[in-house]
Each structure stands twice: as structure tokens, then as C-alpha cells.
Structure 1
Amino acid sequence: MPILPENYETLSAMITPALFMTATGSLIISTSNRMSRIVDRIRQLNVEGDDLSRGAKDVDYLADRLVHVSVQLDRMVRRSDRIRTALTLLYSAMAMFVGTSLTVALVTLLGGALLFIPTTMAIIGVCLMLAACIQLLRETQIALRNNRLEILFHQKLRNMRAAQGATAEEMASAEA
């Protein structure tokens, strides 16, 4: 059976959204992995906070540590909200690209009528991908701020211990 030019054009047009589907699929996989890391970190912080509040860990500056865990959990909630929104947008984009591919075939069967439908679906899909990428950028900013807060917290603990050590030495030399 010979391939007619219009059939070839239809197949080509149906394959074009596949490139967007591939890109969207890659983003879905990496975003799902990010969500898994966030869930793991939330679980870890919950255990840490529970251990600290029950006195199961013998650590210094307990109140500071509990506040730090609470702040981190709040930030994790914001991160998970951004990731959830991004995944919703990405899955919606994927649906639009699949729909684009299918409607291209339907438009061809209908003799070219309603060509605006696949075009509109493709534009909506691209817009959804853009919105998802913006959400992922916002989540990344929160993640980087979290890293900075972790570093600052540990520096604060180190400084408090150093100050406490200096005070203990001053008291010992004053008694002598």
C-alpha cells in the first residue's frame, strides 16, 4: 500500500507531540524523584523531632534544635506543595500532548476541519510545561534556602559551644 503524501504529513504531525511527551516524561521522572527525597526528609525530620521532644537524644541546645526541626518541616511542606503542583501541571501537559497527537489524526480523517483543536491543545500543553518549570524553580529556591539554613544552624551551634567553652574557662580562672 503506497503512502500518500497527506498520510505521511499526518503521521509526521502526530509524531511532533511525541518530542514534547518525551521532554515532559523526563521532567515527570525527575520531579517524582525530587518528591521522594522530600518525603524521605520529612520522615527523617519527624523522627528527629519526636526523638528530641521525648528526650531520646542526649544533645545540647535542645530548644534550638526543636525550633530548627519545626522550621525545616514548614519549609518541606512548602517544597512538597510546589512539587505536587509541578507534577499536576506536568501530567496535564502530557495529557494535552497525547490529545494533540490523537486530534491531529481525527482532523485528518475529517478532511482538515477543526485544525484549531490540536493546535490549541499543543499550545496549552506547552503553557502547562512552562508553569511546571516555574514551580520547579520556586521549589529549587526553597531547597537552596533550606541548605543555607542547615549550614547556618550548625555554625550557630558551633559558636554557642565555643562561647560556652570560653565562659567555662573564664569561670575556672576566676576561681583560681
Structure 2
Amino acid sequence: MFESFTNSEILSGMITPAVLVSACASLIFSTANRLGRIFDRVNLLKSEVEMILDGKKNFQEERMVYLRHQLSVQKKRAVLIQRSMAFLYLATSLFIISSLTLAFTLAFAKDLSWLPTIIAIIGGICLFIASALLLYESRYNLTFINRQIEFTEFLERGVQKK
């Protein structure tokens, strides 16, 4: 029953999920940083709205239209980031379960040796979905950046006209 423990199958089979767990951890860390940057941007936008409402900024109507759009973009980005983090955590869990299932099946149930592979494939799919969401979010962030550039150019033109 325990003769397979002397075989290198367990160790080599458990390394691949461990590497994928490490990859997920790196993505989770960078994604959490992205979420933090979104929070910071929303706070800056909120401060800008408060200054407009207090009458401390010119082009108030134009600024409010711009800020509403930017807050909408940040809201969408936050949702995408949250979904990608959920898939990253799920993928991490599946890779860990895959590794443990491999050890269990090699030790006790060789006829179920397909199970860790299926679990790892599902984890890989979750990792792919998270990556696709992050890619979409980064492209969506371009909307924020382009709009900010356009509004800055508008303000510059408005100041030059005065």
C-alpha cells in the first residue's frame, strides 16, 4: 500500500501545483495593489467633487460630467479586480487540493489518479479566467487615462482662452 511513497511520482507531481500556487500568489499580490490604487483614485475623485461643490474650482459643470464618468470607470474596474481576485483564490485552492489529492491517490487509491489532473485543469481554467479579467481591466484603465488626458487638454484650452 505505501510502496508508492518511495517513488518520485509524489514529489514531482506535487511540484507543478506548488509552482502554480506561487504564480497565483504573485498575481493576487499585484491585483491587490491595483485595487489599492483604485481606492486611492476614488478618494482623489471624491476630494475633487467636494471642492467643486464648495465652489473652489472653475468649469464646475464640465468637471462634474468628467468626474461622474471617471467614478463610473473606477467602479467597473473595482468589480473586474474583485472578480479576478476571486478566480485567483479559487485557482490557488484548486492547485493546493490537486497537490494533496495527488498524494492521497498515489498512497491509497491509484485507480483515482485522474482526479488530481482534473482538479489542476479546473484550477488552470480559473487562472486563465482571472488573467483574462485582469487583461480586460488593464485595457479598461486606458479609458480612464485617455479621458484624464482629454480633460486636462480641455482645461488647458480653457485657461488659454481667458
Normalising by structure 1, report the TM-score: 0.86
| Cα deviation, residue 120, structure 1 | 0.7
Conserved 8 A contact 1:53-1:66: no
The reply on whether 1:53 has 2:53 as its aligned counterpart is: yes
Deviation sequence 1:145-170 (CA, Å, 0-9, x none): 2111101001111222323x3xxxxx
Conserved 8 A contact 1:38-1:76: yes
CA-atom RMSD, angstroms? 1.6
1:71/1:64 CA distance change after superposition, 3 Å: same
> What's the counterpart of residue 149 of structure 1?
147
Quote the Cα distance in structure 2 between the aligned partners of 1:4 and 1:112: 10
Quote the Cα distance in structure 1 between the aligned partners of 2:51 and 2:157: 24
Question: Superposed, which structure 2 residues align to 1:82-161 within 5 Å?
Answer: 82-161=80-159
Quote the Cα distance in structure 1 between the aligned partners of 2:141 and 2:28: 18
> What's the counterpart of residue 64 of structure 2?
66
- Structure 2 unaligned segments of length 5 or more: list them: none
1:4/1:112 CA distance change after superposition, 3 Å: closer
Quote the Cα distance in structure 1 between the aligned partners of 2:16 and 2:138: 30
Bigger mean CA offset, 23-32 vs 59-68: 59-68
Conserved 8 A contact 2:4-2:107: no
Conserved 8 A contact 2:73-2:143: no
Bigger mean CA offset, 132-141 vs 43-52: 43-52
> What's the counterpart of residue 42 of structure 2?
42
| Cα deviation, residue 137, structure 1 | 0.7
Deviation sequence 1:14-68 (CA, Å, 0-9, x none): 122111011111001000100010011111111211221122x2x2211111111
- Structure 1 unaligned segments of length 5 or more: list them: 166-176
| Cα deviation, residue 6, structure 1 | 4.8
Which residue identity is paired with 1:40?
D
Deviation sequence 1:65-114 (CA, Å, 0-9, x none): 11111110000000000000000000000000000000001101224121
- Aligned-pair identity (%): 34
Larger Rg: 1
Normalising by structure 2, report the TM-score: 0.93
The reply on whether 1:11 has 2:33 as its aligned counterpart is: no
Q: Secondary structure at the match of 2:112?
A: coil
